[in-house]
Amino acid sequence: MHDVIVSGSGPSGSLSAALLATRGHDVLMLEEAHHPRKKCCAGGLLVRAQRSIGAPLPERLVERRLKAVRLVRGKESVELRSDGEIALTIRRERFDQWLVDRAIEAGATLREGVEVRGAVSSGKKVVVETSGGMEEGRALLVADGALSKCSDRLFGKCPPGSIAMGGALEADCDAADDAMEIQLLSTSNGLDSIPPACAIFPKGSGCTVSFVARGVGGGRMQKVMKDALEAYAARHGRAEAVNTCFHPIPLAPRPRLVTGRCLALGDAAGFASPFSGEGLSNAMLSAVFAADSVHRALLEKNVSPLSRYIDDCHDNILHQSEIAGTVGRNISRLLNRHGAMRLARAAAGDSRLTEAYIGLLTGDASAEEVATASLSALPRMLMRLRRH
């Protein structure tokens, strides 16, 4: 019997496997695909997300180092610039392969081409049903992404309406840009997008346009992303679309995060940000929390430390996501009401607020601190807006 079985070897699965194997546990990772496998993603890795890895990324994985966020609407733009880095861009195939290699180096075993179909947690073990037969473990980490059937059965389905669709349009382009560009869309365009914007991430010799929305067809999403790419190209030079992919993004947690000896992680738990659809930060944070509580449960030969995972996720992921979602919705309303760029300029001119927003991306500020900074800056910003 294995100490821990991990279903899925994306960032949440392979990071948790590496952390547990490093602490001496026998870890088996089961992956239905073969690495390097394709993952539909824009490849923006916030500094906040990198912190959970606990090691610097090798330079060969870094496509671009980003130091600013640029808000754009039509011909107008406002930049929030930081002294340090706020994010890196990466290619998911290479990044995920590196994380898997680290888990294997730490002593975990990877079996590829194996689909996990279900699991039953009873007494002192979990019996896992796979396409290659049955496996037994003392704990199961379910880290097999947004479409996890295993999570549906063990932890309950994500709440209705909480699954959005993410689109990523990859392009060749010449931009020597070091900013993450957020192209604001009108909130009265009838699209339920999260947030009402397209994000553009520059890469080594290209860029990726990302768009997240609910109930919007693929054709309409593709058109929004193509328009954003055209607007980017008009300011930065040539840009040619290469390919587009779509994949679901879960914006709300499952009813349960732990069932018996089974824990839900990352997208399989429903941990993407309801503000932006960004998911790598919480995927990797949940991996750290899961590894900590499973390690303790294995040492104490007792399942009760697993409940700490629920507390850690509630305090550091769900509570923060709830605040970020509420702040995001209100910012969207304000952008619609007062004119996006006037408000953005007023915000960019407020050093405390800028510092708080940059801090959210780097992990130096919590969503709570950003909400507090936004509320206290609002009267100053509205006064400034009224004067001009």
Q: Residues in the site for ligand FAD, rule: CB under 6 A?
A: 7-13, 30-33, 37, 39-44, 49, 115-116, 143-145, 166-168, 210, 247, 249, 266-268, 272, 277-280, 283
State the greatest distance between any 2 C-alpha atoms of the chain, in Å, as a whole number: 70
The torsion defined by the Cα of 327, 329, 335 and 338, in degrees rounded to 10, comes to -90
| Residue number of the CB atom closest to ligand FAD | 279
- Shortest Cβ 326–ligand FAD spacing (Å): 20
- Shortest Cβ 110–ligand FAD spacing (Å): 11
Nearer CB in complex with ligand FAD: 76/136: 136
Nearer CB in complex with ligand FAD: 41/229: 41
Nearer CB in complex with ligand FAD: 41/252: 41
- Shortest Cβ 153–ligand FAD spacing (Å): 11
- Shortest Cβ 276–ligand FAD spacing (Å): 8
- Shortest Cβ 164–ligand FAD spacing (Å): 9
Spatial contact of 286 and 265, defined as CB atoms under 8 Å apart: yes
Nearer CB in complex with ligand FAD: 44/325: 44
- Shortest Cβ 351–ligand FAD spacing (Å): 27
Nearer CB in complex with ligand FAD: 225/341: 225
Nearer CB in complex with ligand FAD: 201/365: 201
